[in-house]
Amino acid sequence: MSDTCPLTELNLMIDYYVTRNGQRPTRIILGYKAYTALMQDPNFSEDVLNSALDPNKRKYKKLKIKVTKDDHQIELE
């Protein structure tokens, strides 16, 4: 990851994906450390925690989140 805020980096990746592919990604793949860093941001954590009661079905900006074993992975599908 770069030295920018993880949430800013994620939002830029989503915007770039939309402009490049013409559609929104279906899900966000996050490493567990990247997810932890993002959850420290109040905007991200509020959106994610209010999206669903079941932790396996939580979303950010209506995109499904999948947490992986990789450290700082941030990818879009």
pLDDT single digits (tens) 29-69: 999 999 999 999 999 999 999 998 888 899 999 999 999 99
d(CA 76, CA 19): 13
Query: Does the pLDDT of residue 2 top 80, yes or no?
Result: no
Average pLDDT over residues 11-39: 97
Q: Is residue 60 in a domain?
A: yes
Confidence of residue 3 (pLDDT cuts 50, 70, 90): low
| Strand positions, DSSP E, 1-77 | 27-31, 59-60, 63-68, 74-76
Containing domain of residue 56, as a range? 6-76
The 3-state DSSP class for residue 54 equals coil
Task: Answer whether 0.95 is exceeded by the pTM.
Answer: no
Q: Is residue 1 in a domain?
A: no
Q: Is residue 19 in a domain?
A: yes
Beta carbons within 10 angstroms of residue 35's beta carbon: 21
Phi–psi pair at 70, nearest 5 degrees: -70, 150
Q: Is residue 48 in a domain?
A: yes
Q: Is residue 49 in a domain?
A: yes
Structural domain total, the chain: 1
Tell me how far apart the terminal alpha carbons of the chain are, to the nearest angstrom: 18
Query: Does the pLDDT of residue 14 top 90, yes or no?
Result: yes
